[in-house]
Amino acid sequence: MAKPMTKTQLVAALAEEMDSDKKSATAALDAITSVITKEVAGGGAVTLPGVGKIYCRERPERMVRNPATGEQIKKEADKVVKMTIAKALKDSVNG
């Protein structure tokens, strides 16, 4: 498996794709990240065309097991961020 792209590499690739400088590419990436974070934290969802949909899902209270001791404990209800990958991205990866 290849190493994931770092933020610096992503900014450089974005700047090249936009025919812009790295400063404006960083600002664009930070703005997109901020918008996605605010929307998903508020219970909404964001669809990135060609990439996928990012959303928040609530998990109910449940019983879990401590792997070290085997003890059953109650885990409170919480929220988890999920992402559904777009069909276009799946198809481009698979050929």
Residue-wise pLDDT tens digits, 25-75: 999 999 999 999 999 999 999 999 999 999 999 999 999 999 999 999 999
pTM: 0.78
CB-based contacts of 39, cutoff 8 Å, min separation 6 = 45, 46
The amino acid at residue 66 is N
- Whether residue 64 contacts residue 72, with contact meaning beta carbons closer than 8 Å, is answered with yes
Q: Is the pLDDT of residue 20 over 80?
A: yes
Q: Is the pLDDT of residue 94 over 80?
A: yes
CATH number of 45-95: 4.10.520.10
Residue-level pLDDT at 5: 94
Domain ranges of the chain: 1-42, 45-95
